[in-house]
Amino acid sequence: MMKIRDKFQNLMLQEDLNFLLTNRIPRISLTRFMGWWSQLRNPLIVKASIAVWRWFTDLDLTESKQHKFDTLHACFTRELKPGLRPIDPSPAVMSSPCDCIVGACGEIRDGMVFQAKGFPYTLDSLLSSTDLVQHWPSALEGGTFVTMRLTSSMYHRFHAPCDAHLSHVTYISGDTWNVNPIALVRVKELFCKNERAVLQMKTAHGTPFLIVPVAAVLVASMRFHAVDVLLNLRYKGPNDIPCDANYSKGQEMGWFEHGSTILVFVPPGFALAEGIENGKRIRMGEALLTKV
């Protein structure tokens, strides 16, 4: 069995095959099916689904607060045992909101950032909304962006990177392209095509910043504690949702229903924390950005 799994994983590393199997499929229909499947309360289905998931990935449930799950969804959105993600205590540090692999990161120049080397996209295209475009690209010019990819086996909840206030959530419906590195160097402006939410936030000192969770194939559902509805492909409510939520550093803000990507954009005055670079694995609570 191990040899079969190793052979399959090696096949999935072949870029053409990986892209074909994860993107040249009925992405939205499959994502909706996965949403239905993950809610089934059948012990045999749940057990088999988790076994298959483990077979294809490095899923590790030893950190999970619970070890028996009524649904596959409950496993996707599992909480961790208390104390496993210490939060960097420095007030000068903006900590990682999630467990992730760092992707493209760097300076925001002329309203442009990168999803991968040689593959730029504009903040205008990402934000989409006229109101957002009128304010945020200019406010963030010269600042820093960080791309954080959550694999399917990772902890899927995200947390406040600092003491902060959330004032608006703007939901933007879209496609469900895979967001793995293979797709990011093949699909132009991928993050601007996929379903996403723009979280307008301010630090305790009034510095504005954005957190943008981006959905992907098999995961087009996001839940925010500050919003009393599930944002997904079936959501038909208002795109702009006013909020008035205060968070302490490290406090849980919400979760994805599978794995995906979180983008963080901060204005000038911050720099990447030491060691933060493309390919770096970090955990929620570790230093992501520092004040300069």
Give the active site residues.
Answer: 99, 159, 260
Q: Any idea how long the chain is?
A: 292
Place of tokens 């229903």: 257
Q: What kind and span of H or E run contains 246?
A: strand 240-247
What is the pairing mode between strands 100-107 and 261-266? unpaired
Q: Quick one: which of 182, 179, 143, 252 has its CA closest to 27?
A: 179
274: number of Cβ within 10 Å: 8
Handedness of CA 72, 74, 75, 76 (dihedral sign): positive
Please check whether residue 284 is in contact with residue 96, taking contact to mean a CB–CB distance below 8 angstroms: yes
Identify the bridge partners of residue 289 per DSSP, sorted by sequence position: 94, 272
Strands 196-203 and 164-172: antiparallel
Closest CA to 135 of 60, 231, 208, 196: 208
DSSP three-state, residue 22: helix
End-to-end CA distance of the chain: 52
Q: Give one word for 38, left, alpha or beta, with left for phi > 0 and alpha for psi -120 to 50.
A: alpha
Q: Could you tell me the strand order of the sheet in which 252-256 lies?
A: 157-159, 252-256, 221-224, 231-232
Give the tokens for residue 248.
Answer: 């302490």
